[in-house]
Amino acid sequence: MNSLYVGIGGAIGSVARYHLEGWVQARLGPQFPFGTLAVNVLGSFLLALVMFVGLRTEAIPPTVRIALSTGVMGGFTTYSTFNYETLQLAQDGAWALCALNIAATVAGCLAAGALGWACGRFLVGPGQ
């Protein structure tokens, strides 16, 4: 049954990614993969928040946590697209944008994950 929840969550995450990525990219332009960066940073925040709260309280049951983490966030975040777009920037000789994309993704996702963790800690306490 968990596979069904993961599959449904993955479909929801993929559709959410498609719309958010397109919306961000349309507003900020095609010169940099802003949409992919946005979904990866937001996904890092949400995954850290869900896992912190889900593992320290009973507010998010294990089945829902699996559906949200592996399903929704698995479909929503997109390392493979980050990889492709970064390689494309390198192939195009846009070395500064290539480096910026790597640095912004790593730093942004780590910072967003830490913020999600901190928000979870604020909401439910430090736990164990």
Give the count of beta carbons closer than 10 Å to the beta carbon of residue 119: 16
Q: 19-34, pLDDT tens digit by residue?
A: 999 999 999 999 999 9
Token code pair at residue 1? 């049954």
Q: Please check whether residue 56 is in contact with residue 120, taking contact to mean a CB–CB distance below 8 angstroms.
A: yes
- Higher pLDDT, residue 13 or 78: 13
Rounded CA gap, 103 and 105, in Å? 6
Please report which confidence band the pLDDT of residue 80 belongs to, taking 50, 70 and 90 as the band edges.
Answer: confident
Mean pLDDT of 70-98: 93
DSSP string, 67-83: IIIIIIIHHH--HHHHH
The answer, yes or no, to whether residue 44 has pLDDT greater than 90, is yes
Tally the residues of the chain: 128
Please report which confidence band the pLDDT of residue 128 belongs to, taking 50, 70 and 90 as the band edges.
Answer: low
